[in-house]
Amino acid sequence: MPSFHAPRGTRDLLPDASSGLNRLEGIARSLAGRYGYREMDIPIFEQTAVFERGIGEATDVVEKELFRLASRTEDSEAWALRPEATAGVVRAYVQHGMQTWPQPVKLTVLGPMFRYDRPQAGRYRQFWQWDAEAIGDPGPAVDAEIVELGYRFYVESGVPDVQVLLNSIGDGACRPAYLEQLTAYFGRHEAELPELERRRLDANPLRLLDSKDPAMAALVAAAPRIGDCLCEACAAHFAAVRTHLDALGVPYRLEPTLVRGLDYYTRTAFEYYRHGAEGQQQALGGGGRYDGLVELLGGRPTPGIGFALGLDRVMLALEKSGAAAAVEAPPLAVVVGADPTDTVSRLRVASLLRAEGLFVRAELAQRKLGRQLESASRDHAHFAVIIGDELNGGHVQLKDLEAGTQHLVALDDLARDLARAAKSHHHG
């Protein structure tokens, strides 16, 4: 027989891991609602050109990591699984005329992303992200708000010692002069550059600052700083972002080599790290401003800013920090029966209680009552609903498994009594 397994670079989310992911998604949805971001979804695959134009052809994501889909016919469109959500959200913003909506349009997406990356710890080929976008506001206040939103997510998730790395990468007015300096600098060291970085020197010199090659570390550290070349408008914008973050009490560190990995970023760029765990593969998430992306994908010039937070990275960080794993809530009650063979009555009563919105499990194994009660205790259920001869008169026995008490309850009152117990967490 063949041995089947999950594709390399993916993993099955077993119940415990799925419970942890659901908890994080719940926190993200709660925060999105509090901050005024409306949830939407986008296809998990797009035209490849959406990513090539939006993210940039000279990025790692497009050059090496884009999960391209094989075409069944020679003349069909080229498609790729989404490596991130921003390009797809902006495509939807343009396609559906959201520029006519009251601005800014604040949107959020939760779900799996895909990159054909070399699998390693914390980097999967299918991974989960929380994405938030604010389109139509030039900032800087919205920049600080979205940075604080991401930071608040880590606080409420229980990840300790998170800090923000912050930079400004300028815009079309001041970046060209900086790129000239950067190109001249790395050009003087071309012989020291790895082959990939030599190719990028002509295509996109800014990407050299984002290199993951350890051989580039010393060169990057000595490279010209974008902060020294910001125009007056970009410098004022960045100063205002910092003023707002200071007022919000968000801890950040200026990081002059931070450029992020995607071409669409302008001005504000940021990443989240656990303190002491900085490094190319250690970012928990990040984002930045993309004031040219809407126009690049066919819309009118429109400012925007967003982030993508890796939920897999958060679960790994929580595990490393020793935080308790999320545990599924136990059933409020387990329906058991004195007659081991009468599974019909147990299932019928459980169904009635479930219809009232209660979390109830029916013990469907044909075994003695004592074994059924043991199973209910192992489930950490609050109560056992015991079906016996009393059912003929419309009653059941309700046993408090913690207190050890037991009393007769009318079947018509059972759901109400259990709901009251669930609300008050009071037994007996």
Rounded to two decimals, what is the model's pTM?
0.84
Residue-level pLDDT at 9: 85
Higher-pLDDT residue of 159 and 215 is 159
Residue linked to tokens 């900086």? 178
Evaluate whether 271 touches 285 at the Cβ level (below 8 Å). Answer: yes
378/330 Cα distance (integer angstroms): 10
The pLDDT confidence band at residue 324, using thresholds 50, 70 and 90, is low
Neighbours of 115 (CB within 10 A): 21
On the question of pLDDT at 380 being above 50, the answer is yes
- Residues 107-120 have a mean pLDDT of 87
Q: What is the pLDDT of residues 178-198, one digit of tens each?
A: 888 888 888 888 888 888 788
User: Which pLDDT does position 278 carry in this prediction?
Assistant: 56
Q: Do domains 15-174+230-320 and 333-424 have the same CATH topology?
A: no
pLDDT higher at 121 or 387: 387
Please give the structure tokens belonging to residue 232.
Answer: 């007056």
pLDDT at 426: 47
Q: What is the pLDDT of residue 55?
A: 64
Q: Which fold has domain 15-174+230-320?
A: BirA Bifunctional Protein; domain 2 (3.30.930)
For residue 202, give Cα distances in angstroms to 183, 195, 198, 226, 245: 8, 12, 8, 18, 36
Three-state secondary-structure class, residue 56: coil
Single out the residue of 318, 330, 341, 148 nearest to residue 249, CA to CA.
Answer: 148
Q: Are 264 and 175 in contact (CB under 8 A)?
A: no
Q: Which of 330, 387, 392 lies closest to 364, judged by CA?
A: 387
Cα angle value 173/178/180 (rounded, 5°): 110
Mean of pLDDT values over 409-426: 84
**Mean pLDDT in residue range 346-368:** 93
Name which residue leads in pLDDT, 89 or 261. Answer: 89
Record: fold of 333-424:
Rossmann fold (3.40.50)
Q: Which two tokens stand for residue 373?
A: 């009660």
Classify 129 as helix, strand or coil: strand
Q: Which residues contact 70 (CB under 8 A, 6 or more apart)?
A: none
Q: How confident is the model at residue 214 (pLDDT cuts 50, 70, 90)?
A: confident
- Quote the pLDDT of residue 176: 86
As to burial, measured by CB atoms within 10 angstroms (0-12 exposed, 13-18 middle, 19+ buried), residue 291 is buried
Residue 73, pLDDT > 80, answer no
pLDDT tens per residue, range 74-110: 667 888 999 999 999 999 999 999 999 999 999 999 9
Spell out the domain ranges in the chain.
15-174+230-320, 333-424
Q: ∠ CA 176-206-105 to the nearest 5 degrees?
A: 80
Tokens of 33: 């609602």
Lowest mean pLDDT among 252-256, 274-278, 340-344: 274-278
Among 39-48, 281-290, 362-371, 417-426, the minimum mean pLDDT is found in: 417-426
The answer to whether residue 14 scores a pLDDT higher than 80 is: yes
Mean pLDDT across the chain, nearest whole number?
A: 88
Under the banding of pLDDT at 50, 70 and 90, the label for residue 427 is very low
Closest by Cα among 250, 255, 24 to 149: 250
How far apart are alpha carbons 105 and 151 in whole angstroms? 21
Is residue 134's pLDDT more than 80? yes
Kind plus residue range of the DSSP H or E element containing 38 = strand 38-39
pLDDT above 90 (res 371): yes
Q: How far apart are CA 132 and CA 145, in angstroms?
A: 11
